[in-house]
Structure 1
Amino acid sequence: MNHRRVIPKIYARLLAAHGPQHWWPGETPFEIMVGAVLTQNTAWVNVERAIANLKRGDALSPEAIVAVHPRRLAAWLKPSGYFNVKAKRLRAFCRWLIAQGGLEPLARRPTGELRRALLAVHGIGPETADDILLYAFGRPVFVIDAYTRRIFRRLGLVAGTEDYETLRALFEEALGPETPVYNEYHGLIVRHGKDVCRTVPRCGDCCLAMQCRRVG
């Protein structure tokens, strides 16, 4: 199958069906980064509640998160689930961010170097690192998540067992280095995976149904 031809066509169909998603929610690059750490293994609505708690506590900054007592931080993050683990990960990320001199020095680093640095931080895996690179730093890095694997496996475009880097390279090769498209495409995949191509899919509402193989 010609992935370079099909993957852009699927993007066009999703965009026509769902409209622009303006993803990722966040008022600042740092808020986007916090959301990327907290969204692991939970729904976005729970992340929003946790971020709202940080805002009410006047703690939505790296310095405040590092300074606050760990138990208080964990309590603020409780809506996001796995809150003790996420509190440790968020503190580790904020310590790293402060040690690097903040966002401006990081923004000057080449994408590959910055990605390697993010992956070296405790609790930051490929998906979280790429969320941060794409949405906080505006880098052309395609994010692969569980929705991507589900949708494109059902379409017969991937096996679903490929490693993260293989799938990322597949999408980036098909789309070219287009940061706005990566941004919107990932948002559309999230929307479609949550609302239509669920674990139990709503095939009658699917704009991709004509070419879907419904594998699993």
Structure 2
Amino acid sequence: MLHQELREIFDDLLEHFGPQHWWPGETPLEVVVGAILTQNVAWNNVEKAINNLQGKDLLSVAGLVQVPREELAELIIPTRYYNQKATRLKGFMIMVEEEFSGEMDKLLALETDELRRLLLKSKGIGKETADSILLYAADRPVFVVDAYTRRIFSRLGYVEEKVSYDEMQALFTNHLPADTDLFNEYHALIVALGKDICRARNPLCSDCPLNHRCSYRIAEDGKQPEDNGRDNTEYYENAEDTK
């Protein structure tokens, strides 16, 4: 039953938004860099930073290891928290240099569980960033959870608003086939819905392709959501919509 509902939600989103063609990166290295830099900032800002790195011929493990931290920070200013991110990005690339001879492909060839553990040991890389690298750079069937996922599926009534990362992830991995392409597209469609329609405040419920199944549904005139058998939970995300 839940498997069918999750597939129907995917189909509704795909019909509404169309294929998203994620991740927006040219190479696995660029995806890794983007995953680290995109924390708390919109992707177009990350693209500016990546273009800056490319312009200085620094978009390589060796380049990022050798560039002074202060210079790196200046190049990634568009991503916010650039001093912190410069330190984390350099630290990660130094690890790749020292433990994998500077070859990102060697790192990404590790078994999924081992690679995830190693990523999570790296300073500044949490579960969402690690799983983004696993899914989009290493092509592993790992479902990425973000604020949009929690917001949308709590409003739909499938989880509590304060659901943990692991519990939210399990909703998908326990009821969908372990399919990299499916997880890739599903996450991208969730981001499209959360960014453009199912916003933290003033969601555009009348435009939502899931409003026929949503516990939270609010009409634009401000009426209360209809009771569809699930708990109606108001869920406002304090963080910015920053994907």
TM-score between both structures, scaled by the size of structure 1: 0.96
Report deviation, 1:142. Answer: 0.2
Instruction: Work out the CA distance in 1 between the residues paired with 2:184 and 2:194.
Output: 16
**Higher relative contact order, chain-length normalized (CA < 8 Å, sep 6+):** 1
1:84 is the counterpart of 2:86? no
**8 Å contact kept, 2:108–2:137:** no
**8 Å contact kept, 1:8–1:174:** no
State which of 205, 224, 231 in structure 2 corresponds to 1:203: 205
**8 Å contact kept, 2:109–2:138:** no
Instruction: Work out the CA distance in 2 between the residues paired with 1:50 and 1:22.
Output: 21
* Aligned twin of 1:99: 98
AA of the residue aligned to 1:170:
L
Aligned residues with identical type, % of pairs: 50
* Mapping of residues 140-151 of structure 1, within 5 Å: 140-151=141-152
AA of the residue aligned to 2:203:
P
Q: Which runs of 4+ in 1 moved over 6 A?
A: none
Structure number with higher helix proportion: 1
- What SS is found at the alignment partner of 1:139? coil
1:62 is the counterpart of 2:61? yes
TM-score between both structures, scaled by the size of structure 2: 0.86
* Aligned twin of 2:22: 23
**8 Å contact kept, 1:23–1:184:** yes
* Aligned twin of 1:130: 131
* Aligned twin of 2:166: 165
* Mapping of residues 166-181 of structure 1, within 5 Å: 166-181=167-182
**8 Å contact kept, 2:61–2:97:** yes
Instruction: Work out the CA distance in 1 between the residues paired with 2:43 and 2:167.
Output: 26
AA of the residue aligned to 1:77:
I
1:4 is the counterpart of 2:3? yes
Where do 5+ consecutive residues of structure 2 fail to align?
Answer: 217-232, 235-243
AA of the residue aligned to 1:188:
L
AA of the residue aligned to 1:103:
M
Structure number with larger C-alpha Rg: 2
AA of the residue aligned to 1:5:
Q
Instruction: Work out the CA distance in 2 between the residues paired with 1:154 and 1:52.
Output: 37
CA root-mean-square deviation = 1.1
* Aligned twin of 1:49: 48
Report deviation, 1:93. Answer: 1.1
* Aligned twin of 2:215: 213
**8 Å contact kept, 1:3–1:157:** no
* Aligned twin of 1:111: 112
